[in-house]
Structure 1
Amino acid sequence: MDLVEKFDAKGKTGAPYHVEVYQIRLDEANEASAVDQRSYKLADGRALDPLSNEKFRIVQTGEKIYRV
């Protein structure tokens, strides 16, 4: 799993968060059918569910955060 992106996000209260995006390549029978899978986490390790490219939900708390 490789770190491929970092960005800042904020919650509705204005609390700042640092998001890290990890990518893993799922190899299929050949390179043409390989799939890249991304996972999103806060810098403190909590998992995120992507709701869109700009909006995420913290799995542990349900809080929605937004890319800034």
Structure 2
Amino acid sequence: MDLVEKFDAKGKTGTGYHVEVYQDDENPPLARHYKLNDGRLLEPLSDAKFRIVQTGEKIYRL
């Protein structure tokens, strides 16, 4: 998997997060995986909204 993008996101409480996007070139159609820079996994809900899998908190792309 290759790191293809980084961006900042923020939760409703104002907490800031750094998001990393990885792309898997071996499994078509180029699956993307989202995680925080501390390793916690993200579930994409839209292009700008994500859920932290471990806590359920929703965060938003800045």
Give TM-score, length-normalised by structure 1.
0.87
Partner AA of 1:14 in structure 2: G
Report the counterpart of residue 51 of structure 2 in structure 1.
57
- Bigger radius of gyration: 1
Counting aligned pairs with the same residue, the percent is 73
Match among 20, 29, 38 for residue 35 of structure 1: 29
Q: Which runs of 5+ in 1 are unaligned?
A: 28-33
Write the distance in 1 (CA, Å) between the matches of 2:26 and 2:31. 7
1:6-48 Cα shifts (integer Å, max 9, x gaps): 0000000000000000001135xxxxxx420000000000000
Q: Which runs of 5+ in 2 are unaligned?
A: none
RMSD of aligned residue pairs (Cα, Å): 0.9
Q: Which structure: greater helix fraction?
A: 1
How many residue pairs get aligned? The number is: 62
